[in-house]
Amino acid sequence: MHLGPKAEFIASVFFGQDQARAIVGSIDQIRRADVHNTGLLETLIGGQCFHGQVEFLDQAISEWMDGDYYLLHLRQTADLNRFIETEGIRVREAMASELAILLAQSHARREAEKAKKAATKAAAKAEVAAQKVAERMAMAQDKAQERALLAAEKAAERSRVAEAKKAAKLLATRVRATAKAGLDVTLAQGRSVSRVTPQGHDGITGVNGRTLRSHERGCIANPNTMTLEMQRGVEKGIGRKEAGSAADDEMDRFDKTEEWSNRRAAADANRHAVADGKAQGIKRRREELAENRKTMDSFSKIVN
């Protein structure tokens, strides 16, 4: 009895690409060391289509994993892992070395900045100290100059006073000497007249019919003698000469006083000008230091 043609099924009906992809996707779970998870294998292919299909697939997987292709894959994978590990170690060591270099450079830079700031601060302090010393020296010099001027003025004043006293004493001596000389001449004339006319003091007629009183009033008792009026004229001339000398001394004293006053005023003006110049210089230097400090701070901020 003929029942028609035989039923035929292609291989993909029993095991196709979908089943193969499912097995490959979970191959690490199907095979873990010596464990063969056939239950998972059967589940992935949707159940076996004929008896012994799962065992056949498990045997095929074992043969494939023992083949050269899979073993080469394992060696390549191991080599790649070793390369990755070695390269990772090398990169980490290089990064650590570079990090150490960067840290050393950063530390050196910070130390250099600290040293620079300290040097700048020390230089500023030294400059301020030098300016203070210069100011103190200038003040001491000004005070010494002022003391010298005052001492010179006092010495000049003492000299002027001494000269004035000396001139006054000399004038008084001359006046006394002149008065004494005039008195001596008068007394000598009186004695001469008395010898000629003893009664001259009583108004009796003396030499040439002149009395002593007439002689004292300026009348000539002797052509070779000096009358009181002539003596008084000489004394007045000497007095005027001495007065003129005293006036000249007073003018000299006034001129010297004015000269010293002018010199002191000039010295004061010069001292004030020098002090103002120093103050302006100190102010400008402080402004320059402040500006330099701001510039350094800005530069440090930019570098950091």
Q: Which two tokens stand for residue 230?
A: 């002539």
User: Residue holding tokens 């019919």?
Assistant: 209
- 129 Cβ contact partners less than 8 Å away, ≥ 6 residues apart: none
Query: Hey, which residues does 35 pair with through a beta bridge?
Result: 32
Report residue 227 as tokens.
Answer: 């009358």
β-pair type (31-32, 35-36): antiparallel
Q: Which tokens go with 208?
A: 């040439």
- pLDDT at position 216: 44
The DSSP letter of residue 6 is P
What tokens appear for 234 in the block? 């000489």
> According to the model, what pLDDT value does residue 103 have?
96
Per-residue confidence (pLDDT) for residue 92, from 0 to 100: 96
pLDDT of amino acid 198? 46
Q: How far apart are CA 15 and CA 22, in angstroms?
A: 11
CA distance 47 to 39: 9
Tell me what pLDDT residue 106 has.
95
- Show pLDDT as tens, one digit a residue, over the chain (304 residues): 445 565 566 666 677 788 888 888 888 888 877 788 888 888 888 887 778 888 888 888 888 888 999 899 999 999 999 999 999 999 999 999 999 999 999 999 999 999 999 999 999 999 999 999 998 998 888 888 888 888 888 888 888 888 888 888 888 888 888 887 876 666 676 665 445 444 444 444 444 444 444 444 444 444 444 444 455 554 555 555 555 566 566 667 667 777 777 777 777 788 778 888 878 888 887 888 888 777 777 766 765 5
Beta carbons of 214 and 228 less than 8 angstroms apart: no
How many C-beta atoms surround the C-beta of residue 130 within 10 A?
A: 10
In this structure, what token pair is assigned to residue 178?
A: 């002149």
Residue pair 216/120 in contact (Cβ under 8 Å)? The answer is no
Which residues are 32's β-sheet partners? 35
H helix intervals, the chain: 11-14, 17-25, 27-30, 38-44, 53-65, 68-196, 212-216, 228-303
